[in-house]
Structure 1
Amino acid sequence: MSQENFNDLYAFVCVAQEGSFTKAAAKLNVSQSALSQTVRNLEQRMGIRLLSRTTRSVATTHAGERLFVKLAPLFEDVTQELQDINELRDCPRGLIRITTPEFAIEHVMWPGVKRFVEKYPDVTLELNADNRLVDIVGERYDAGVRLGEMLAKDMIAMPISPELRIAVVGSPSYFAQHGIPRHPKELMQHRCINWRLPTVGGLLPWEFERDGEKISIRPNNSLILNTSTAGVRAAVDSMGLFYTMEEAVQAELENGSLVRVLEDWCAPFPGFYLYYPSRHHRSQAFSLFLEEMRCKEGRCS
């Protein structure tokens, strides 16, 4: 097919995207009459109508829609590739939007984020702390961060943390007063600080596993929160036992303000992944961000 025909196909894609010859002509910097003739010539060569025209609107026919669905991603790929090549002449720039749990920002992503911001000052990085399962396509994010067991199958996913473990913790004074649980089922006799799941509004079940035996506990809650920071503080203040990521309480375990129990029941599970749509057109800036966050030599961030 000649170069002129590729131009005609691109003209058709622009009209279909805009739903208007006027808007498409402005986008292509040509006259409306010239664009209309270009599409008409394409239809004549193909021997089939691609667009239905009225005085008020333009819409694809069945054949036109089929052609548009095939061609539009291809032209987007070409346009993005040309943009990426042009960016190689200059410093990367632009906006990268990431949705991520607050815990992942502080305990997993921060070293890589710091390096990226220092290396690429012309790129704006937006981290939106959100514990919901966000629709990154619908809400126009470049990528999201989730635990490995929560990833959608149609996403490209890259690990950004090693395996994680849960910790059940309480203050020394709490255990002095209420005793130490030796088995997960004994938690039902304790005061517990729980987390309300933002996605469904339910309370987080406390899950344990040892030697193939799995136990899920719905404890008696003395306090319900939706932030890990508040839960750690409540546990330090002897308000109950808290079930959280072990990294969130590492400092408190080291200084003795919290004590860990049931450690042999806390099996490792898949860590955090950065994920993005399989057809996402990666800008140079986004590709560099992925490289900065990638796990290397067994270490992440």
Structure 2
Amino acid sequence: MMNYAAMLHNLPNLNELYFFVQIANAGSFTKAAERLGVTTSALSQNMRSLEKHLDVRLFNRTTRSISTTEAGEKLLAEIAPHFLAIADAVRHLDEIRDEPQGTIRINTSEIAANLIIYPKLQPFLLANPHIKVELVIDNRWVDIVAQGFDMGVRLGYAVFNDMIAVQISEPMKMVLVASPGYLKDKPLPKKINDLTNYHLIGSRFSSEHSQLEWEFMDKGQKVGFQPMPQFSINNDLRTQAALDGFGIAWLPEIRVHEELKNGNLVEILPQYAYTYDPFYIYYPNRKGNSKAFQMVVELLKFKK
């Protein structure tokens, strides 16, 4: 069996072989030194060491020029292609590194996923087939680092200070809405507490959580209202339930903008509407992120 360790031990210094190729191709110690960023004396010393190791002269030297000896020509023909192959392999790795690819895992709320992230991702992923994005919908706060996510998406107030945060939406205004059919023959509520006289559509973050409190702005102060809903669900069916006449729902304006515009839903108590911080993507570190990661961040970044 071939003893590779012994063979490698007997090889000449690879740096010296590389310098030899560079000198032979440049036809000059001075030009090769400039390309390599070393001194001509250092190159001369390396060549003397290589020739001593090989026990053969590689260059014919005069005060004005150099040329390879017959042994030098033979060595150059044998090893130069291998150094080119190494350079090509390294260049190929650079291309792989620079080509946007990989999987980006994002933990996000349903509203952000449906209304902000997915509409931007759809054309982006079609144009970048080597990039994969995994959206995990979770309306609860999670530790993205502990659970292996590359980034999370939450409203600004819910992002920890030790995270890098990038705004991806406008501030999120909340609105009370109901269908014209539900409101027909009913007096419109005039105050927040009047809502107790209506059927309400509620939501929980999870089975362990209580009903989500609705928040309003009254005379410059944030006030809460605890709904007692007839129907409750923790996903986007709240919008459909409002359209179907189940009652009054508290929803992000961005979700029902078209329905309000075309009259399928009616806003109630607009004077008390509360506006939250914008949505942000957040992640723990600026360094070492892939090109695909950087592209997704740039894609989602809010642009006025």
Q: TM-score range by the shorter chain?
A: 0.5 to 0.7
* Aligned counterpart, 2:278: 271
TM norm structure 2: 0.65
* Matches of 1:94 and 1:199, distance apart in 2: 35
Q: Which runs of 5+ in 1 are unaligned?
A: 1-29, 31-81
Match of 1:159 in 2: 167
Supply the distance in 1 between the matched residues of 2:294 and 2:124 (Cα, whole angstroms). Answer: 11
Q: Percent identity?
A: 35
Stretches (4+) displaced over 4 A: 87-90
> What one-letter code is carried by the residue in structure 1 that aligns with 2:180?
P
Q: In the aligned structure 2, how far is the partner of 1:200 from the partner of 1:246? A: 27
Q: How far 1:280 moved relative to its partner? A: 6.1
Please tell me whether residue 136 in structure 1 is matched to residue 124 in structure 2.
Answer: no
Q: Quickly say closer, same or farther: Cα 1:138–1:154, change in 2 above 3 A.
A: same
Confirm whether residue 239 of structure 1 aligns to residue 236 of structure 2.
no
SS in 1 for 2:282: strand
- Contact 2:211/2:227 (<8 A) preserved: no
The secondary structure found in structure 1 opposite 2:275 is coil
- Amino acid aligned to 2:113: I
- CA RMSD, aligned part only? 2.4
Q: Distance in 1 between matches of 2:260 and 2:176?
A: 11
2:260 to 253, 257, 261: 253
Could you tell me how far apart the structure 2 residues matched to 1:291 and 1:142 are? Answer: 14
Deviations 1:226-269 (A, max 9, x none): 112x1111111221100010111122212222111111111322
CA contact (8 A) 1:192 1:219 kept: yes
Give the CA deviation at 1:278.
Answer: 3.2
Structure 1 residue 285 corresponds to structure 2 residue 292: yes
Q: 1:86 to 1:163 in 2, by over 3 A?
A: same
Residues 130-209 of structure 1: matches in 2 within 5 Å?
A: 130-198=138-206, 200-209=208-217
Gapped regions of structure 2 (runs ≥ 5):
6-89
| Contact 2:154 2:279 (C-alpha < 8 Å) held by counterparts | yes
Greater displacement, 231-240 / 109-118: 109-118
Shift of 1:111: 3.4
CA–CA separation in structure 1 for the residues paired with 2:288 and 2:211: 37
Distance between the aligned counterparts of 1:87 and 1:132, measured in 2?
39
Cα offset, 1:177, TM superposition: 3.7
Q: May I ask how many residue pairs the two structures share in their alignment?
A: 215
With over 3 angstroms needed to count, the CA separation of the structure-2 counterparts of 1:193 and 1:288, relative to structure 1, is same
- TM-score normalized by structure 1? 0.66
